[in-house]
Amino acid sequence: MVRKELSMKIHLHIEKQQQETEVHIYAAEYNEMIEQLMKKINSASTENIVGYLNSDIHLLKPEEIFSIYTEEARVYLQTDEEEFECKSKLYELEERYGNKFVRANKSMLVNMDKITSIQSKVLGNPLLLLSNGCNVAVSRKYFKLLKEKLGLGRDGV
């Protein structure tokens, strides 16, 4: 089987007068590569996450959320002031917001921008300290990925 390498040219233009970011895709045909590229671009945009508190619906910005966790088969969004229920599955939120959140353990995602320190223990699981004062245990299974997403090399933690 002969596999054709897919290539593309990328041009970035910085213009001070530009009010919002625009992405233009020029292609000879619509194909799988274009579809994947569009999905990546869409998932990178900062879309609101819908949270429910009592009977109210709240549109939360990802940067407002410290962690997303599951408890008793329900998903919760933890902000500085409240915890909202979310109808999405944890893995769906991880796929959609993987550029902002990282898996800490089987039942929790944390906002990478809210991590203030990592306490690496000789015995036991490492702990993340979030900017709201919460501690989150990181399972060893996800610790390597967490360090990679935070840009920490071998000399890091």
Query: In this predicted model, which residue has the larger pLDDT, 151 or 137?
Result: 137
109 phi, psi to nearest 5 deg: -110, 145
CA–CA dist 34, 25 (Å, integer): 8
33 token code pair: 């590569």
Q: Over 50: is that where the pLDDT of 157 sits?
A: no
Confidence category of residue 104, pLDDT binned at 50, 70, 90: very high
Whether residue 45 has pLDDT greater than 60: no
Report pTM.
Answer: 0.66
Largest CA distance in the chain: 57
Tokens of 78: 């933890």
pLDDT reported for residue 125? 82
What average pLDDT does range 13-25 have in this prediction? 79
Does residue 151 have a pLDDT over 80?
yes
For residues 19-42, average pLDDT: 78
Asked whether residue 124 carries a pLDDT value surpassing 80, the answer given is: no
